[in-house]
Each structure stands twice: as C-alpha cells, then as structure tokens.
C-alpha cells in the first residue's frame, strides 16, 4: 500500500460509506450523497484514496448508447482499504467520538480481520 492519506473528516466519511458494504461498487454521486459531501470535497478524497490504493475504481461496463446514459465511475474498497478503513474508523471513533447513530459496526466485516489484529 502507498502512503495512506491524512485522516480528515471527509476521508473518514467516505471510508465509512464504502465500508458499509465493501463488496458493493458505488459511483461518486452515491458516495457523495451518503457521506454528505459535494463534488468539490468528494473527488479530492476519492483521488487520494485511489492513489493510496485503498480504493479501486473502474468505468461501468455499459454501452452508453444502449443504456441511454453516460457510464459511471464505480468505486469500492480494496482488500487493503477495507482493513485500513476499519482500523482508521475504529481509531477515529475512539478518539473523536463521532457520535453518529447510523455508523455501521466497524469490527464485523465478514472475512476480514478485526481492527486490533490489522496491520495498516
């Protein structure tokens, strides 16, 4: 994994949204709406996470002429990203007390080690 990005609130919000269901690919607008971020804050975070290889992205596999709409860019956490996100969010929850009642249960992503055992 490349150098991890600085953990800002925006980064944590995006990681939290992506970690809700790490197997699902989400497009930028969906992530932005769920995280409460507009484009100007969202895209820099996504690009940082992508540079750090915590997130992978790919263009939607559709033919725009058949779908009748332009293709989307889809994002999902990489395996490294899942571990890192869980660790970072758990740490942030302890330190910052985010206090968000909608926050998912960070430590229970099936198939991945718990934050305490993760080497970020």
Q: Return the number of the residue (49 or 83) whose C-beta is nearest other proteins.
A: 49
Q: Is 47 in the site for other proteins (CB under 8 A)?
A: yes
Q: Is 72 in the site for other proteins (CB under 8 A)?
A: yes
- Output the smallest distance, CB 89 to other proteins, in A: 23
Q: Return the number of the residue (32 or 115) whose C-beta is nearest other proteins.
A: 32
Distance CA 104, CA 106 (A): 6
Closest among 77, 73, 68, 59 to 30, alpha carbons compared:
73
Neighbours of 8 (CB within 10 A): 13
Q: Is 73 in the site for other proteins (CB under 8 A)?
A: yes
- Output the smallest distance, CB 8 to other proteins, in A: 12
Within positions 6 to 45, which residues make up the interface with other proteins, using CB under 8 A?
A: 27-29, 32, 38-41, 43-44
Beta bridge partners of 73: 59
N-term to C-term CA, the chain: 9
Backbone angles phi, psi at 119, to 5 degrees: -105, 100
Residues that bind other proteins (CB under 8 A): 27-29, 32, 38-41, 43-44, 47-48, 70-73
């Amino acid at each position: 994994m490349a150098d991890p990005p600085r953990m800002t609130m925006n980064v944590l919000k995006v990681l939290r949204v992506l970690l809700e269901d790490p197997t699902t690919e989400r497009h930028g607008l969906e992530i932005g709406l769920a995280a409460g971020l507009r484009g100007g804050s969202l895209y820099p975070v996504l690009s940082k996470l992508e540079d750090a290889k915590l997130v992978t992205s790919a263009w939607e596999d559709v033919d725009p002429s058949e779908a009748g709409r332009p293709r989307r860019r889809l994002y999902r956490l990489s395996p490294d990203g899942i571990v890192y996100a869980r660790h970072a969010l758990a740490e942030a929850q302890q330190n910052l007390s985010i206090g968000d009642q909608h926050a998912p249960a960070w430590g229970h992503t099936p198939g991945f080690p718990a934050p305490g055992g993760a080497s970020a």
